Amino acid sequence: MDPTSVYEALLLGIHAFYEYQVTLQRFIRARVGLARVGVQTPGPAGAVASIPQGGAVDDPGGDLDTPRRPVRARRRRRRRFWVKPWVSSDRRLQFGAFDNLLEELRLDDSQAFVNFIRLPMEIFDELLHRVTPLIEKQVTNYRRPISPGLRLATTLRHMASGDKYPSLLYNFRVSKASLCNIVPEVCQAIVTVLADEVIAAPTTPEAWRSIADDFHQKWNVPHACGALDGKHVRIHKPANSGSTYFNYKGYFSIVLMALVDAQYRFIWVDTGGDGSMSDAQIYNSSELCELLNSGGLGLPPPEPLPNTHDVDMPYFLLADDAFALRPFLMKPYATRFMDHDTRIANYRISRGRRVVENAFGILAQRNQLPQTTILQKPDNVRIIINAMVCLHNLLRIKFPTMNLTMVDRDDDNVPGAGSVERGAEVLDGLQPRPGNFNHKDAKAQRDYLKDYFNSPAGSVEWQDRMV
């Protein structure tokens, strides 16, 4: 037989094989009722045949004569309980901490009540009354919702103790799934009802001047309108975030940037910074920096310092070395090669600047959550921090002397501004030019402050023993 005849016979055989496969697959699909799914595959000598894929045959290389049943979705197993019996509303009412322990503390030990949720009873009741319309759920015939009081108590306990959701589950008998929704929702309600009332930055020169007078009376730094700094709040690494939240300290965080007055109250906060951002980077992109640069913050016009008459000194904020020196932003000198006068100036500026550190300390001691790793999404962490700041300011307004033992002191016998030696001497020398925001004028202004702190007009009698 010649090669041509062999080749033609081979082509006919291959073509017949493909036709047989097509016919068999049509028969199988007709039996199991599956839709036809196929691809076009070139056959021999330009012939085209349809080769089905998938369908009822899981393995195309298997036995095609034995059709298999289609794979059905696995039926979801029926749950034994909608809510576990020990987390039910009846057991919660009978054994939960809110309806039993808190009521017992309310009747027998008010101080323990404060220690448990970090709020006095009257403040807790007032706050509950204000947030109830925002967190209360509708009562239906299906089941009873978690009460607003329990929602608020679990959230406050979470912030006060830093307890994780499993711990709150066993104490308050509220499921973790419910807590994941309750905590951010209640914190957002707290911010909504309190933020405009307790965190309000001054907008008039008179209000800023009042803050400056407090800094002068309590911390002996005239013309200071606030202390600025940032605090890293440790969080769990968010998914697919890379190094966005990884800070220079070696952990993941978001940054709380805050401006604090002389009474440890937050007058401006920004929680939008990620851990990888520096304090200066967050500040430079903030609204506060924009207002300071444009002069729209409402600071008082430049005036002479106390006991002086010839040089107008601008009002300013206090910060540390992370920020750039500006006429409206004073910071200590570099710590190398300092003489006695420079050490005095650094001590006086730092004494006023550390107010913001004390405020962070009070916030973290009252609420232990910032001292742990917060296992929340970054957006929820920001809401929680804003809620803690609102509660901090609320207590500072209503109870100004609370938690003063948490601040650092350099000497219990250090007097206030009454110890300033009143002299009639007028400082001569550098005269800063307000309105010019370059670094040179800022240095001249800081040098003027150094001379003032070391002169009879601005010195205090105990400053020499502090350096």
C-alpha pair distances (Å), 425 with each of 216, 306, 310, 431:
19, 11, 11, 16
In 10 A of CB 157, how many CB atoms? 21
Rounded to whole angstroms, how far apart are CA atoms 349 and 370? 27
Rounded to whole angstroms, how far apart are CA atoms 327 and 419? 27
| Listed residue (383, 353, 65) closest to 227, CA to CA | 353
Q: Are strands 224-234 and 329-330 parallel, antiparallel or unpaired?
A: unpaired
Burial class (CB in 10 A: 0-12, 13-18, 19+), 347: middle
Rounded to whole angstroms, how far apart are CA atoms 272 and 266? 16
C-alpha pair distances (Å), 442 with each of 100, 179, 259, 298:
60, 50, 20, 19
What secondary structure does DSSP assign to 330-377, as a single string? E-PPPSSS--HHHHHHHHHHHHHHTHHHHHHHHHHHH--GGGS-B-S-
Q: Are strands 253-260 and 266-274 parallel, antiparallel or unpaired?
A: antiparallel
User: What single-letter DSSP state applies at residue 202?
Assistant: -
Rounded to whole angstroms, how far apart are CA atoms 350 and 221? 10
Counts of helices then strands in the chain (DSSP H, E): 15, 7
Segment (H or E) for 110: helix 110-117
Q: Is the dihedral of CA 324, 325, 330, 334 positive or negative?
A: positive
CB 329 within 8 A of CB 292: yes
CB 234 within 8 A of CB 215: no
- Whole-number pLDDT of residue 3: 66
In 10 A of CB 352, how many CB atoms? 21
Rounded to whole angstroms, how far apart are CA atoms 58 and 70? 9
Cβ contacts of residue 203 below 8 Å, gap of 6+?
298
- Whole-number pLDDT of residue 67: 56
Rounded to whole angstroms, how far apart are CA atoms 11 and 16? 9
Cβ contacts of residue 168 below 8 Å, gap of 6+?
154, 157, 158, 174, 179
Q: What is the pLDDT along the chain (467 residues), one digit of tens a residue?
A: 566 776 677 777 777 887 887 887 777 777 655 444 444 444 444 444 444 444 444 444 444 455 556 666 677 777 666 678 888 888 888 999 999 999 999 999 999 999 999 999 999 999 999 999 999 998 887 778 999 999 999 999 999 999 999 999 999 999 999 999 999 999 999 999 999 999 988 989 999 999 999 999 999 999 999 999 999 999 999 999 999 999 999 999 999 999 999 999 999 999 999 999 999 999 999 999 999 998 889 999 999 999 888 889 999 999 999 999 999 999 999 878 889 999 999 999 999 999 999 999 999 999 999 999 999 999 999 999 999 999 999 999 998 876 655 555 555 444 444 333 333 343 444 444 444 446 788 999 999 999 999 999 988 888 888 87
Burial class (CB in 10 A: 0-12, 13-18, 19+), 357: middle
- Whole-number pLDDT of residue 60: 46
What crossing angle do the helices spanning 355-366 and 340-353 adopt, rounded to 10°?
A: 40
Q: Sheet holding 316-318: strands in order across? A: 266-274, 253-260, 224-234, 316-318, 329-330
